[in-house]
Structure 1
Amino acid sequence: MRVACHTITWGGVLGAPTGVTSIKDLHYLSHGSITEAVREIGAVGYEGAEVFDGNLAAIADDPQPFLDTLAASGVELVSVYSGANFVYADVLPDEMARLRRACVLARRFGASRLVVGGGARRAAGTPDEDYDRLGAALDQVADLAEEHGLEASYHPHLSTIVESPDELDRIMARTRIGFCPDTAHLAAGGGDPAALIRRYPGRLAHVHLKDIDLATGAFLPLGQGDLDLEDVVRAVVESGYDSWLVVELDSTDGTPADAAALSHAYLTDLLSRVTS
């Protein structure tokens, strides 16, 4: 098992404002420097990093400084995270064009995985057909990733139509894309993350780990919240998955490096106990 960290903690998550009027340009991105993030991620002891597609798009014309930082820090770019609405037929071609661009960027910067979230909740409610639309779109994402030598996975996320365990079951039956459990989002959606991993062991393709205070909904460094992360890791091991675990934390009251170090120390100790 190898351990990576998402650069989201260095600046939080934003959306490109051009996306309000141009769907094809609606990227996720973190406000902070991903170059500085990678330096600190490597210094903490992580072997890998995950970034948003928008952060790579912002440096696409001058990629070498970031590539040099990855090499100097001993950090592998593991994965690129993106997302889309996926349920609106008229805008889906533009969303897929943007995801194709994300795949191109992922390969240019050396990543091997594409992670997507999404499935919009409509103002008027969610018709059952939206799960069919989302499933079909996610199959397109899987095909697109494969064309670029990437492995794709779907990340259930709060505010989308895949929050609860029942909603997860509905989409998993409609798509062949891999499963990326996010421990905090699954718990906030009313699920038991370990149980949901055990429900879909053969679909596990990527893992996001973060803790949560269930009373407040605040995301926290690993070991600081309410989740039984030992059971989560045991479920991952039982599935046969032996690859990247990505620590993710949207924001922190302290420094990003300190939060990353807390999670790294906790996870390193946990892995030594669970996998020994």
Structure 2
Amino acid sequence: MDRRLRLGCQTYTWEMLGDAYQDGPDKLLEMIAGAGYAGIEMTDRMIGHYKDSPQAFARALAQQGLVLVAYAVGSDSGFTEPAMLSADLSAAEQAIAFAGYFPGALVCFGSATIRSPGARDDKFAAAAAFYNAAGELGRRAGVGIALHPSSHHNTLLFNRADYDMIFARTDPMLIGWVPDTGHILRGHEDMLDLLRTYSDRIRYLHLKDLDEDGQWAMLDTGDCDLDAVVTTVRRAENFNGWLVIEEESDQAARDPLAAVKANRDKMREFGL
């Protein structure tokens, strides 16, 4: 089934600046709306003073004409520490309650990550236990839940074998997938085959590019075949139509607003 496509922006472009970004969430909304995006994926680290005030955040979004696509949540446990499962699920419940205030918004949990020594199989088991339990919390609350594999340091979900493992251990009725084109390319995978194999899992898409040296690149300047990816994903049964651009290149580190504006302009060449 074909879906109407909409463009969102991920706030990690500013989060990666660390203490160099001090302007808070309201400035983020202003910049993202001003750059021409319709939606936003807000991380738990950038939500700021709105963390316990979804009503106020809804008003701020409305003022900027933005939709909350997803609330992205991570954990110091990497979701692979059984001793932290209870705390992680408590945080998940809070995130789900927050996202539940926004019709159609999902909670996106970050990549399972190795934080301590131990067998990889045990790490997969712990991650799957968290994702499945969080998915059940989402089901009860009527909020969609998805996981977001990445290629960052010590990720458990890097290559095709890792994707196969986590998807085999998680319930497709409870846990969706947010494919990230840049992270998939870093895993040296056949991206279109991966997207087709797990198309029923896809909820929305992260667009990011990677150059031939494995470095983040501005959109459509690297190895990502945007047209082929979007054509494939938009036919996925459970895809909601959101393309969320997450820019992490050196250009974005120097001038994040200019980078996200350039990416928005680039997508106009694709009719979006």
Aligned partner of residue 3 in structure 1, secondary structure: strand
SS of the counterpart of 1:79?
strand
More strand by share: 1
Amino acid at match of 1:267: M
In structure 2, relative to structure 1, the CA distance for the partners of 1:60 and 1:180 (3 Å cut) is closer
Q: 1:23 matched to which residue of 2?
A: none
**Equivalent residues, number:** 257
Residues of 2 paired with 1:67 and 1:232: CA distance?
Answer: 31
Deviation, structure 1 residue 263:
1.3
Cα RMSD, aligned residues only:
2.4
Q: Retained in 2: the 8 A contact 1:12–1:31? A: no
Residue 219 of structure 1 aligns with an amino acid whose one-letter code is W
| d(CA) in 1 for partners of 2:79, 2:166 | 12
| Aligned partner of residue 270 in structure 2, secondary structure | helix
Deviation, structure 1 residue 222? 1.2
Give, as a single letter, the amino acid of the residue that structure 1 aligns with 2:84. V
Counterpart amino acid of 1:257?
A: L
CA drift at 1:200: 0.8
1:13 CA drift (Å): 6.6
Where does 1:194-273 land on structure 2 (aligned, <5 Å)?
A: 194-215=192-213, 217-240=214-237, 241-250=239-248, 252-271=252-271
TM-aligned CA distance change 1:271 to 1:144, over 3 Å = farther
Within 5 Å, give how 1:69-218 maps onto structure 2: 69-84=60-75, 85-108=78-101, 112-124=105-117, 126-158=119-151, 159-176=154-171, 177-215=175-213, 217-218=214-215
Displacement after TM superposition at 1:119 (Å): 2.0
Offset, 1:122: 4.9
> What TM-score, normalized to structure 1?
0.83
Relative contact order higher in (CA < 8 Å, ≥ 6 apart): 2
Q: TM-score, normalised by structure 2?
A: 0.84
Query: Does the C-alpha gap of structure 1 residues 51 and 205 become closer, same or farther in structure 2, counting only changes over 3 Å?
Result: same
CA–CA distance in 1 between the matches of 2:271 and 2:168? 31
The gaps in structure 1 that reach 5 residues or longer are 16-29
Structure 1 partner of 2:40: 49
Give the gaps of 5 or more residues in structure 2: none
